[in-house]
Structure 1
Amino acid sequence: MADLQDRVPPHNEEAEMAVLGAMMLSATAVQEVSQVLEPHHFYLPVHQEIYSTMIELVRRRMTVDLVTMRDTLMSNGRLEDIGGVSYLVRLVDDVPSAASAVDYARIVRDRSKLRRLLEASAEIHKVVFDPNSSIDKKVETAEKLVYDLKAGDRADYFQPLSMFANRFFDGIEALMSSTGAVAGLTTGYPDMDRLTTGFSPGDLVILAARPAMGKTSLVMNFAMNIARTGNGAVAVFNLEMPGEQLVQRLISMLSTVPIEDMRRTGLSTESYDKIIVAAEQLVSLPIFIDDTSQLSALDMIARCRRLQMDLDDRVRRDELDPQGGRLALVIVDCLQLMRAQRGSDNRVQEVSEIARGLKLMARELRVPVIALSQLSREVEKRPNKRPQLSDLRESGSIEADADLVAFIYRDEYYRQKEEGGGEDFQENPEHTEVSEIIVGKHRNGATGTVLLGFQPSLTRFWSLANEDKEDYWRSKRRQNFADD
């Protein structure tokens, strides 16, 4: 570390001078460079001062040239600090080409990134030797430092329309050559896939429901169906229950052994054998569970990046094929249990920040993110207990940031409660019912309702036959007629 401290931090003085000189010669250079650089990107304090003055002139909608720079620096009492008028003249005279201003700016920004990387490495060095921090905490801190380094970059703001048009036609050509029924990631439920056209990279999908509706079960059915197809790995952030309980649910789905039976003594040999077979199937699936509580969106992004690096290593070792060795989906259970990056006394603001963070995570990782969400108790106070967008708990920004919002409604559940049957019926292995998956918002498509079969004792969903769906809607129409 002593050797590193003795070295001059990375910088390019000629590129810094060329950028500043070009901006005093070309209005185009001012517009382009101001979208790429911030004052802190410059290494020399003198250059930081000059560039800050240029940005001040831009904000005041004034021309940036020798005359305005001299006058502003003189008014601020900083002209002599930067070397006087003679240094400004030198900057202009030494510009190789004002047309290359953006190229010089990128050199300046790249050197700044290296300096920040050097600072991050110094921080990581301190963390490594911190006796009061655990190994896992040290690794997470190091990952966050590196991620913050990347997230702090300013991207080029505008791209030509032709670039996005090329991406659009690449997608169209991929669809034409695809044998799949929908464009996005399929859930394994054809009716759901037809309505949503699958989940696309960058999508934030909110699945919301009142307690006991089966939202965790449904999303884990999605996860298993996607993992089985070989289209990639699924990352699950399970903030609501220990990982062992989630695995218990998955094994119950696969084995058809009710969860209640697994919790009792005297498990039959037949059930045990089914559990063993299901466990063998489950461990072969590329599903990865993180049951750490109180994670933020940035924490999740860092952990997903680490997972992707692990998958890349397995591909290089020929343990996975390239298609299966990519992160395909991220699931978060649930949104309200996440931690906001910036603490606030206003819970609505916190949830809004979390929702925005999840959307940014979907775009950053380029995968669909499905986040489970709680609903307000107002649902229970209405005669018709089907959820709607206004029921999303604690923040309307959840609806605004989501690309798709879906709700789960089980009419049989509420009917049994109204008749005084309690919730014991859900433990009956023979009990099955119809569940409504209501798509209340779809930014890129239609809304509507999908019917799925549901077996509460096994937390299992399945596609219904057309005649079963028709029978359900027919019974609802009769019920509505009777109520009228």
Structure 2
Amino acid sequence: MPEQKNTTPRRKKTSAPIDPTYGHLQPQAIDVEKVVLGALMIDKDAFSVVSELIRPETFYDPRHQKIFKAIQTLNMEEKPVDILTVTNELEREGTIDDIGGANYIIELSSHVASSAHIEQHAKILKQKFLARQLISFASDIETKAFDTTVDVDELMQEAEGSLFELSQKNMKQDYTQIDPVIRQAIDTLQKASANTSGLTGIPSGYTKLDDMTSGWQKSDLVIIAGRPAMGKTSFALSVAKNIAVDYQTPIAFFSLEMNNEQLVDRLISNVCEIEGKKIMNGQLARDEWERLDKNLSRLTGAPIYVDDTPGLSIFELRTKARRLVREKGVKIIMIDYLQLMNANGMRFGNRQEEVSTISRSLKGLAKELDIPIIALSQLNRTVENREGIEGKRPQLSDLRESGAIEQDADMVLFVHRPEYYRIYQDEKGNDLHGKAQIIIAKHRKGATGDVLLTFQGQYTRFMNPEDAQLAPLPGEMNGGEFIGSKMNQDYSGAPDTDPFAGDPLGGMPPDTGGSVPF
């Protein structure tokens, strides 16, 4: 019988898919590296053009790294740079054989006739170097992401920190000729002259404070500091309320200490003039429910954007702040408080270095977004050990954990209530019952001094003294007898006590004959 042929079609052999991420050459431009090194050895002024753009590690070829390092050393020592001096420096460093001897130096310089395009060539090398860094960064993160023992949240923090550090190292601010800056300054001056209030920044809502500062200025980092129970958070919230409710200016408030509900409870107490403990337990009198119903509409719809992310990192803040400015038109940012932030993903020798990085980053963010950033800060305990009226006044040296805060800030304000230390008169004989001093201790653009405000602790509110005279204040005379400030009964308590901590609003409101805004 004839042999039957197998009619089953043969399967074609298929090759395994090739992962396009492997087998790639690292971004490099060896020929450009040679041109740059050759130009540096024939033009004595060429190094000053590229010194801010490239470093030894910018070069891909290890030989070129050593040659550039030798050129860099000669320039730092103010010695001439040419074929002979570079060769001698490499011999001194013991690396002449590593780069191929003196002949390779001669070869580099012989192929270059001019340094005319050296800056453009250096920018090419910088881009290649940055691309290699990003590849290394991404590869490291990818490897750790595959590791099941690695915490993903910590890895994200590390990734943010490493990427931020990478961008900071490669950031270069170019110079600007003064003419456009002059035009911008004159334009700002003309706008200010047209404003009869004299404010060039965002108003705080406090007359004397705005007179001294002309408002919160663009790109400024403002530090508001105070000891516990001085009311620095209340002051910040009062300012935020004034900005958003009274002036309808969008503001972002990052609260690392309180959650959003506690924050809003304080704002309700401030705007509706209802004591904090009643907001907490819901035991409102009839007139208070009516006041709540009437005034809550002022707060509803206000352009206040709150974020209560605990342990917020500087990198998360940058991302959120950029989006808020871009999407919501936010004109000012507040942070409560600076020492609760972190810089995860970066390595520090101690906490002071980390706080310094956070402070410096906040100032950089204010400049980048061109808006004021107000950060609250703690003070150390030194003030508690000093005696007398002047002794209890906070000083710049009292800023906690880092002198960099004082250095980076454009303005430092202290919230100080002498009444807390049983000091009821200042050196001029002014009555300090129910009063708070806002001490401008540093002002890079203007004068320093004190502003006296009225503090209504039961409403966690600061007011202009002239405005506060329109209503009875805690601590006023009643029938010839001094009552004493309610803030020590209802608010202060132990340092850092939250007057609104506890159960959320509860209880049944009395019959008001109308709708209840809850």
* TM bucket normalised to smaller: 0.7 to 0.9
Go from structure 1 to structure 2 and tell me whether the alpha carbon gap of 1:175 and 1:17 turns closer, same or farther (over 3 Å shift). Answer: farther
User: CA–CA distance in 2 between the matches of 1:194 and 1:379?
Assistant: 29
Instruction: State whether residues 182 and 193 of structure 1, in contact with CA within 8 Å, keep that contact through their aligned partners in structure 2.
Output: yes
Matched, 1:28 2:45: yes
Structure 1 residue aligned with 2:408:
401
Indicate which of 387, 390, 398 corresponds to 2:394.
387
Structure 2 residue aligned with 1:369:
373
Instruction: State whether residues 249 and 303 of structure 2, in contact with CA within 8 Å, keep that contact through their aligned partners in structure 1.
Output: no
Go from structure 1 to structure 2 and tell me whether the alpha carbon gap of 1:390 and 1:144 turns closer, same or farther (over 3 Å shift). Answer: closer
SS at match of 1:253: helix
Go from structure 1 to structure 2 and tell me whether the alpha carbon gap of 1:303 and 1:279 turns closer, same or farther (over 3 Å shift). Answer: farther
Go from structure 1 to structure 2 and tell me whether the alpha carbon gap of 1:356 and 1:467 turns closer, same or farther (over 3 Å shift). Answer: closer
Aligned residue type for 1:50: I
Go from structure 1 to structure 2 and tell me whether the alpha carbon gap of 1:455 and 1:33 turns closer, same or farther (over 3 Å shift). Answer: same
SS at match of 2:451: strand
Aligned residue type for 2:306: F
Go from structure 1 to structure 2 and tell me whether the alpha carbon gap of 1:329 and 1:265 turns closer, same or farther (over 3 Å shift). Answer: closer
Matched, 1:308 2:326: no
User: CA–CA distance in 2 between the matches of 1:85 and 1:217?
Assistant: 71
Deviation of the 1:52 alpha carbon: 1.3
Structure 2 residue aligned with 1:245:
262
% identity of equivalent residues: 34
Instruction: State whether residues 436 and 451 of structure 1, in contact with CA within 8 Å, keep that contact through their aligned partners in structure 2.
Output: yes
Give TM-score scaled by structure 1 length: 0.78
Deviation of the 1:76 alpha carbon: 3.2
Instruction: State whether residues 208 and 375 of structure 1, in contact with CA within 8 Å, keep that contact through their aligned partners in structure 2.
Output: yes
Go from structure 1 to structure 2 and tell me whether the alpha carbon gap of 1:134 and 1:350 turns closer, same or farther (over 3 Å shift). Answer: closer
1:220-254 alpha-carbon deviations (Å, 9 max, x no partner): 22223333445444242x33333432232122222
Matched, 1:335 2:335: no
Structure 2 residue aligned with 1:264:
281
Q: Which has the higher helix share?
A: 1
RMSD: 3.6
Aligned residue type for 2:405: I
Structure 2 residue aligned with 1:321:
none
Instruction: State whether residues 314 and 342 of structure 2, in contact with CA within 8 Å, keep that contact through their aligned partners in structure 1.
Output: no
Aligned residue type for 2:80: T
1:435-467 alpha-carbon deviations (Å, 9 max, x no partner): 221212211101122222221111112223289
Deviation of the 1:143 alpha carbon: 3.1
Most deviating of 214-223 and 227-236: 227-236
User: CA–CA distance in 1 between the matches of 2:205 and 2:81?
Assistant: 59
Instruction: State whether residues 223 and 287 of structure 1, in contact with CA within 8 Å, keep that contact through their aligned partners in structure 2.
Output: no
Deviation of the 1:151 alpha carbon: 0.8
Most deviating of 448-457 and 153-162: 153-162
Indicate which of 59, 69, 74 corresponds to 1:42.
59
Go from structure 1 to structure 2 and tell me whether the alpha carbon gap of 1:179 and 1:11 turns closer, same or farther (over 3 Å shift). Answer: farther
1:360-399 alpha-carbon deviations (Å, 9 max, x no partner): 4433444322222233444344221333334434555433
Aligned residue type for 2:412: V
Matched, 1:9 2:10: no
Instruction: State whether residues 374 and 393 of structure 1, in contact with CA within 8 Å, keep that contact through their aligned partners in structure 2.
Output: yes
Ranges in structure 1 where 5+ consecutive residues have no aligned partner: 315-324, 419-431, 476-484
Give the count of matched residue pairs: 441
User: CA–CA distance in 1 between the matches of 2:140 and 2:284?
Assistant: 54
Deviation of the 1:204 alpha carbon: 2.2
Go from structure 1 to structure 2 and tell me whether the alpha carbon gap of 1:22 and 1:224 turns closer, same or farther (over 3 Å shift). Answer: farther
User: CA–CA distance in 2 between the matches of 1:242 and 1:434?
Assistant: 28
Structure 2 residue aligned with 1:18:
35
SS at match of 1:440: strand
Aligned residue type for 1:389: L
Go from structure 1 to structure 2 and tell me whether the alpha carbon gap of 1:170 and 1:80 turns closer, same or farther (over 3 Å shift). Answer: farther
Structure 1 residue aligned with 2:304:
286
Instruction: State whether residues 243 and 291 of structure 1, in contact with CA within 8 Å, keep that contact through their aligned partners in structure 2.
Output: no
SS at match of 1:446: coil
User: CA–CA distance in 1 between the matches of 2:108 and 2:244?
Assistant: 59
Go from structure 1 to structure 2 and tell me whether the alpha carbon gap of 1:222 and 1:265 turns closer, same or farther (over 3 Å shift). Answer: closer
Structure 2 residue aligned with 1:55:
72
Deviation of the 1:433 alpha carbon: 2.8
Aligned residue type for 1:87: Y
Most deviating of 45-54 and 260-269: 260-269
SS at match of 1:81: coil
Instruction: State whether residues 261 and 267 of structure 1, in contact with CA within 8 Å, keep that contact through their aligned partners in structure 2.
Output: yes
Go from structure 1 to structure 2 and tell me whether the alpha carbon gap of 1:154 and 1:60 turns closer, same or farther (over 3 Å shift). Answer: farther
1:297-327 alpha-carbon deviations (Å, 9 max, x no partner): xx32443324423653x4xxxxxxxxxx344
Go from structure 1 to structure 2 and tell me whether the alpha carbon gap of 1:177 and 1:163 turns closer, same or farther (over 3 Å shift). Answer: same
Give TM-score scaled by structure 2 length: 0.74
Structure 2 residue aligned with 1:455:
456
Go from structure 1 to structure 2 and tell me whether the alpha carbon gap of 1:217 and 1:267 turns closer, same or farther (over 3 Å shift). Answer: same
Aligned residue type for 1:188: G
Go from structure 1 to structure 2 and tell me whether the alpha carbon gap of 1:125 and 1:172 turns closer, same or farther (over 3 Å shift). Answer: farther
SS at match of 1:332: strand
User: CA–CA distance in 2 between the matches of 1:176 and 1:97?
Assistant: 53
User: CA–CA distance in 1 between the matches of 2:190 and 2:58?
Assistant: 41
Deviation of the 1:415 alpha carbon: 3.7
Instruction: State whether residues 251 and 279 of structure 1, in contact with CA within 8 Å, keep that contact through their aligned partners in structure 2.
Output: no
Aligned positions of 1:109-188 closer than 5 A:
109-132=126-149, 136-155=153-172, 159-162=176-179, 164-176=181-193, 181-188=198-205
Most deviating of 165-174 and 221-230: 165-174
SS at match of 1:20: helix
Go from structure 1 to structure 2 and tell me whether the alpha carbon gap of 1:134 and 1:263 turns closer, same or farther (over 3 Å shift). Answer: farther
Instruction: State whether residues 324 and 330 of structure 2, in contact with CA within 8 Å, keep that contact through their aligned partners in structure 1.
Output: no
User: CA–CA distance in 1 between the matches of 2:292 and 2:150?
Assistant: 39
Structure 2 residue aligned with 1:482:
none
Deviation of the 1:412 alpha carbon: 3.9
1:79-105 alpha-carbon deviations (Å, 9 max, x no partner): 343233343233323336413222211
Aligned residue type for 2:387: R
Tell me which structure has the larger Cα radius of gyration. Answer: 2
Instruction: State whether residues 260 and 306 of structure 2, in contact with CA within 8 Å, keep that contact through their aligned partners in structure 1.
Output: no
SS at match of 1:6: coil
User: CA–CA distance in 1 between the matches of 2:467 and 2:273?
Assistant: 24
1:33-90 alpha-carbon deviations (Å, 9 max, x no partner): 1222111112222221211111122223221111111222233343343233343233
Go from structure 1 to structure 2 and tell me whether the alpha carbon gap of 1:337 and 1:202 turns closer, same or farther (over 3 Å shift). Answer: same
Go from structure 1 to structure 2 and tell me whether the alpha carbon gap of 1:327 and 1:8 turns closer, same or farther (over 3 Å shift). Answer: farther
User: CA–CA distance in 2 between the matches of 1:233 and 1:350?
Assistant: 26
Matched, 1:227 2:244: yes
Matched, 1:439 2:440: yes
Aligned residue type for 2:65: Q
Instruction: State whether residues 161 and 315 of structure 2, in contact with CA within 8 Å, keep that contact through their aligned partners in structure 1.
Output: no
User: CA–CA distance in 2 between the matches of 1:445 and 1:106?
Assistant: 41
Deviation of the 1:109 alpha carbon: 0.9
